[in-house]
Structures are given as structure tokens and as C-alpha cells.
Amino acid sequence: MFVEMHPYIGLIEAIKQRRAARAFKSDRIPEVILQEILELAAQAPSGFNLQPWRFIVVQNQQNKEKLQACAFNQRQVGEAPVVLICCGDRRAAEMANITSVIHLGEDEGIMTPSYASYMRSSISPGIQALRDAGLWLSDTLVNLLKQQAGE
């Protein structure tokens, strides 16, 4: 679904005019606009197209106030009619998700069998290796700091 925005402005003008908003009207956001925003957000590129984002749409006033308390009590969080939480899904590199991305690519006719097999065999071990490297680095740094502190 494509919602035509009025007035229409081009990309360069939109980038130049964009500002962080800190006050919001309480007007309800139409469902069709919310849907469009989420669909556009999902067009963002991601590594191996794993799409590791999950969105939570918060509209309930009590929940927005709980969020406001977690956000340095910034008034605009409770005031905006809708708050979108964008979460990173750490399970994105698990085989179930890789398989569904491969199926998506196959359905669209853009996933070759050799790329599918490359994805199956490379991503999970690759991500595991990155996690291991991260853990090793943080352990090493903690040990170095302890040594420097004379512990």
C-alpha cells in the first residue's frame, strides 16, 4: 500500500528539513500510515538480508508512561500518540531465520542454490566466531585492567 504524502517533497529537501521533534499533537495516527511507516522501515538493507529488526508499536498510554520513565522521563515519549521501539533480534543468525530468508529469495527467483548453501554453511559459524572473539577481547581487557590495578 502506498500512501501519498502532502505536500510532496523530494529526498534532498526532506533530509534538509528533518528535525528531531520534541513535542507532539495527540492526533491519532491512522493505521494505514503506521503500516506504511513499518513497511518502509523494513526496506532498510541488512547483512545477508537477515532483517534482524523487530518493531514494537506502543499506543497504550500506561505503557508509554512506563517507557517515558525509562527514557530520562522525556515528556515527548508519553505525549506522542505512537511510540515505535526498534529491537535488534539476536536470533536473526539462527538456522530457522536463515532458512526463511533463503525461502524468500527462492520465491522471488533471486536465490541461487550455491548462494543458499553458502548462507547455510557460513553465517551461523561466522556469527559464533564473532561472539567468541568479542568474549575473548572483553576477557583480555578485564585481565589487563586487573593487572594494571595490581589485583
Ligand X SMILES: Cc1cc2nc3c(=O)[nH]c(=O)nc-3n(C[C@H](O)[C@H](O)[C@H](O)COP(=O)(O)O)c2cc1C
Residue 126: all three cell numbers together: 561466522
Q: How far apart are alpha carbons 64 and 78 in whole angstroms?
A: 5
Cα torsion through 63, 67, 73, 74, rounded to 10: -100
Is residue 6 within the footprint of ligand X (CB under 6 A)? no
Residue 149 is a binding residue for ligand X (CB under 6 A): no
- Are 127 and 144 in contact by the 8 Å Cβ rule? The answer is no
According to CB under 6 A, which one of 1, 11, 12, 20 is a site residue for ligand X? 20
Segment near ligand X (CB under 6 A), from 5-13, 19-27, 39-47, 51-59? Answer: 19-27
Q: Which of 12, 15, 17, 19 binds ligand X (CB under 6 A)?
A: 19
Nearer to ligand X, 22 or 131 (CB): 22
* Cβ atoms 83, 30 nearer than 8 A: no
Interacting residues toward ligand X by CB under 6 A? 19-20, 22, 74
